[in-house]
Structure 1
């Protein structure tokens, strides 16, 4: 019998890890392309543009929750900034043209938080430049397996890399001779659990043996303006364990992650440098139409343009501050509120941090 190669070992170990949680996890063959060797020559500087929640409009329970321009101009105000090797966001919902959600018993009032974007909206996200998405969140399953399966098929057809479901926990891909892995975590049903840190670390460690840069995304933490700070404990929200995001972020970096991108609280949170790796604890609501509160801190968010060196260590970042309201939608914020929010929260939550906020709109490393 021939010995198992690293590809087979990664496949088998991933099945074992997530079956330990009582759920079978299959790894589509498309996620395991080009994993035999790690490229030796990589770029001196890697650029990652990262944003938070994206939900361009939901046709459920009524088409009144779709924008008048059919979402075509959703990213118009920020299109010059959606550039880089990786352009990342969190897809807060599924792509599906029809169907009802068992999540909503009352579809008459405005209390139904179930999101299915028309399938054509996926092309708008692709056209904007996004090439990496997290689908690990509490809305990807709003329309059951049909919503999840349709979403994955559409993303596959558009060649957008994605991760976060137990049926698709990670994806490996190559851009400009750099090999990347994306894996994503959340506390929700059918997603890869943020609350099983041992399994998360094992997955990250095995991915790091296969690629140059491991990107970890998480959907975690309590929601709303009362929860801007990063606690060092599990966050319980609506009787659900939303994870200990501080412990999780540090743990996956210990295991080999090169950057950690968080979302879920619907507000901007602090950033941190840990072992030379960059952590964004929450990127807030980026482009969210319809049933989202956009009042106060919920209406501002950063677009981060992050630079890493070839080893995945943080070099610098530019913070493009954006804002939303239900009339004007997504636009640039000339008051730079998201930048100042990040600065204030980072100074408060991590007083010994090694980041430099002295230049407006920029995050550097202290010398």
Structure 2
């Protein structure tokens, strides 16, 4: 009888322990599921605002016509500006050239030293990823420098480093998601191999289709005449060396009318004005940003603005900040204490778009003065 009672107590205690263990494991599973659900819901939550940063032309060095145009080893292209760039929620730049280890020069040049074709090694892609670039335009006059293989390898390199891109026939637009916001991106240029800035009906179609699928549409264009004599936006078609470089004012406004939220321009190799149209931000040219060698960086061509804008989850402009960086020959961009890019863009904005009523402060912040 005593043995039977002890056996009953032992079995009961074992059952209780197993039950408690099962209940504990179940509670742990419930807790884990709750944590995972909370994290998933948080991921779906849209932020109250988005900090978008944009820069102009990027060509980190080229091994054509020879490797003397590559920078010395040991310094990254964005080392002196990463403290700013890495604060962005979304970071944009224009890739002025290719990222390819193969391909023959597609331009006809009797003297290779005077042939401006840009072939950056594919390993340079890591610098873009490390600095946080999310999206890049490849619609410009240098994407075809090394033919179709150069375009394909550039695309593969950007994909390898998780960077969205668009602007060529094989990739007119892209959709990507970050922090619960879905973005649509498209890019245009007047050049061979690119989706044309002149074809407004096609551009409108691309933007309209993106607008149906995403929260925010970003449009990039490579257009306008080049050089220090062309800092103003003329509000008409621009021609340079006999080429139609587009009417960037009409293009930008047409894209916003079609549903675009942010317009980012480049191509003139100098800074141009900012504008806010229908509560949407336009940068008409962000100039050169990280262009190692083979570029004329004298005077205002060496200004390297970093445009920061804060927008709401629907793309409406809230405020901005202009960070001034600078380049000199064969030196990567660095922050400019004299704030020359800020002063230039402030003056151009007030001159070209007084109706936008953008007010710039000394620290680079700017906002639209509301009546």
Q: What's the TM-score, normalizing by structure 1?
A: 0.86
- Cα deviation for residue 41 of structure 1 reads 5.2
Query: 1:213-260: CA deviations, max 9, x gaps?
Result: 000000001111010000111111111111100000000000000000
State the 4+ residue runs in structure 1 displaced beyond 4 angstroms.
none
Contact between 2:137 and 2:220, CA under 8 Å: does it hold in 1? yes
How far the C-alpha of 1:203 sits from its partner, in A, is: 1.1
- Choose the corresponding residue for 2:274, options 271, 275, 278: 271
Q: Distance in 1 between matches of 2:284 and 2:350?
A: 14
Question: Alignment length, in residue pairs?
Answer: 327
* 1:55 alignment partner in structure 2: 59
Match of 1:89 among 87, 93, 103: 93
1:323-360 deviation digits (Å, cap 9, x = unpaired) = 10115431111011111111100111112222111443
**1:283-303: CA deviations, max 9, x gaps?**
000000111000011000210
Equivalent of 1:106, from 94, 107, 110? 110
Does the 8 Å contact 2:238/2:247 carry over to 1? Answer: yes
Residue in structure 2 matching 1:67, options 39, 61, 71: 71
Selected match of 2:243 from 230, 240, 244: 240
**2:154 corresponds to which of 151, 156, 161:** 151
Matched with 1:121 is 124
Aligned Cα root-mean-square deviation (Å):
1.5
User: Does the Cα contact within 8 Å between 2:98 and 2:151 map onto a contact in 1?
Assistant: yes
**Is 2:353 the partner of 1:350?**
yes
Match of 1:8 in 2: none
Say if 1:185 and 1:327 are closer, same or farther in 2 by CA, change over 3 A. closer
CA distance in 1, matches of 2:120, 2:270: 22
**Which of 295, 302, 313 pairs up with 1:292?**
295
Deviation larger for 253-262 or 72-81: 72-81
Q: Is 2:169 aligned against 1:166?
A: yes
SS of the equivalent of 1:226 reads: coil
d(CA) in 1 for partners of 2:310 and 2:320?
6
Provide structure 2 residue ranges, at least 5 long, that are not aligned to the other structure: 1-42
Counterparts of 1:17-32 in structure 2, within 5 Å, are none
Does residue 198 of structure 2 align to residue 188 of structure 1? no
Provide the C-alpha distance between the structure 1 equivalents of 2:59 and 2:180, rounded to a whole number of angstroms.
32
* Alignment partners' CA distance in 2, 1:358 and 1:76: 27
Deviations 1:130-150 (A, max 9, x none): 111000000000011010001
- The 1:202–1:99 alpha-carbon spacing in structure 2 relative to 1, beyond 3 Å, is closer
Could you tell me which residue of structure 2 aligns to residue 133 of structure 1?
136
Q: Does the aligned pair in 1 maintain the 2:292–2:331 contact within 8 Å?
A: no
Bigger CA radius of gyration: 2
Q: Could you tell me whether the CA contact under 8 Å between 1:104 and 1:113 is conserved in 2?
A: no
Aligned residue in 2 for 1:14: none
User: Which residue of the partner structure matches residue 216 of structure 2?
Assistant: 213
**For 1:136, what is the secondary structure of its paired residue?**
coil
Compute the TM-score of the two structures, normalised by the length of structure 2. Answer: 0.86
Choose between structure 1 and 2: higher helix proportion.
Answer: 2
Check the 8 A contact 1:224/1:267 in 2, yes or no. Answer: yes
Tell me, in whole angstroms, the C-alpha distance in 1 between the residues paired with 2:215 and 2:288.
30
2:122 aligned counterpart, secondary structure: coil
Q: 8 Å contact 1:135–1:164 — kept in the other structure?
A: yes
